[in-house]
Amino acid sequence: MKMETKQLQTSLSEPLIIMDEDKNVFKVNRKVFTDMDIFEMEKKKIFDKCWFYLGHESELPKPGDFINRRVAGRPLIFTKDSDGNINVFSNACPHRGSIVCREHKGNSKTFQCFYHAWTFNNKGKLVGMPGKDAYPSDFNCDESMNLQKVPRMENYKGFYFVNFDYHAMSLEDYLGNAKEYFDLVVDQAETGLEVFGEGSQEYSMRCNWKLLSENAVDNYHTHPTHKTYFDFLNNTNIKVSEEPMHGVGRDLGNGHGVMEYASPWGRPVAKWIPAWGEEGKKELDEKMELLIARVGEERAQRIAKRNRNVIVFPNMIISDIMSLTVRTFFPVSPDYMEISIWAMAPKEEGADMKGKRLNNLVEFVGPGGFGTPDDIEALELCQEGYKNNKEVQWNDISKGMIKETPSFDDELQMRAFWKQYNEIMTKE
């Protein structure tokens, strides 16, 4: 076999990754987690250029609904106008720059700047300004003093994304093979998905943002890091199935990756476990029959019985496991990030199964559960260890490179992230 060594250089003095597929070597320079110059480069090349998840259509059920949301460091207004169209505005007054919407969420026909009381309707048009007589009669005839829409906003099946680059590829092209997994998630609902449970949970970690991107599709850590959770299940008579965990990892292109697998826990989509009793079994059997009738036997089995952890490059996590959650996170500094998490479910699902989803979220995925505090501890310990970067320089991400079909607990899906990261960061 021809031996080829690929060492990718940056404008910085050292490579960000070392990839040698013939030698089955893949390493990441730990400098990417700590260096301020690299962080500044990320802001320009990633956070000014990529598509970022903003919110779901179900969060704006009525005309006039709005949510104040921060994406890539920018305050934005995610709103449905009086005609029912969804818009995303920069939350900044065109007059002197103050934000014009201070409430977290609500319903309003207008947004008024606190500073000079300029007022805008929910389509972004300037409709009121004190002292208007002091301005020319054709003031704002070019609409430059209206609220400004973000350069790009597109949605895929109700998931809204924004991009601050006018010249970016379309969202559908960007998602590419990841659309297959959005489709599997969306198809579990007959009447559509919705965010439920009173909005989002917010938390933070004192570590680099890319560690969470890795962690989202890293099943290698599950048993050692989350041993307490599995001990809890075994010691509290919570009856799960006897199905062992097994599955595959996939590189979906464009930096996206997934691990798809079977597990012993229940899934409110239509996977019953003994802990949910005979009444729960009857409900889930009926849901499974409806799902098969709608999408066919093979696809229904995949939707209901398999778990999916998906990373959409660079910072969206879909966890379709014992609950369905969406997470995004943005860095504040090289060693600190802020995270938001939303719970989702089919609109038509009953209160009992929605309650099980919420319990599963609180019990494992949420910031107060068993899983996330474990992950926070592990990732913050990594960040602390990176203070030894000069002496211990590289992370190893090569697990599974010797296999034809990597397992879900190998690291192919993590290498997908790092290859895209390196390509973007080293492009002139």
Structure tokens at 258: 């997934």
Please answer whether residues 100 and 110 qualify as being in contact, where contact means their C-beta atoms are separated by less than 8 angstroms: no
Q: Position 345: which residue type? A: A
- My answer on whether omega of the bond before 244 falls inside 30° of 0, hence cis, is no
What is the model's pLDDT at position 6?
46
Distance CA 227, CA 195 (A): 30
Is the distance from CB of 320 to CB of 187 less than 8 angstroms? no
Structure tokens at 157: 């099946």
User: Which residues, in sequence order, are bridge partners of residue 121?
Assistant: 110
Name the residue among 123, 124, 133 with its Cα closest to residue 94.
124
Q: What integer pLDDT is reported at residue 276 of this predicted model?
A: 86
Of 251, 298, 271, 273, whose CA–CA distance to 412 is shortest?
251
Strand spans (E) along 30-146: 52-56, 65-71, 74-80, 86-90, 105-107, 110-112, 119-121, 126-128
User: Residue 373: what pLDDT?
Assistant: 86
Q: What per-residue confidence (pLDDT) applies to 245?
A: 84
pTM comes to 0.93
pLDDT at 12: 63
- Residue 142 has a pLDDT of 96
Q: Which residues contact 380 (CB under 8 A, 6 or more apart)?
A: 205, 206, 207
Report pLDDT for 11: 47
Distance CA 239, CA 281 (A): 13
- Provide the pLDDT for residue 237: 60
What pLDDT shows up at residue 238?
67
* CB 340 within 8 Å of CB 329: yes
Q: How many CB atoms within 10 Å of residue 95?
A: 15
Other beta carbons within 10 Å of 316: 23
Going by their DSSP bridges, the two strands 6-7 and 17-20 should be labelled as antiparallel
pLDDT at position 3 is 38
The pLDDT of residue 361 is 81
Q: What is the pLDDT of residue 249?
A: 96
From the first residue on, what is the mean pLDDT of each consecutive set of 10 residues in the chain (428 residues)?
44 84 96 96 97 97 97 97 97 97 96 97 97 95 97 98 98 98 97 89 96 93 80 71 86 97 90 87 93 97 96 97 94 97 93 86 77 90 96 96 93 97 93
**What stretches of 341-411 show up as alpha helix (H) in DSSP?**
351-360, 371-385
What is the distance between the alpha carbons of residues 42 and 23, in angstroms, rounded to a whole number? 29
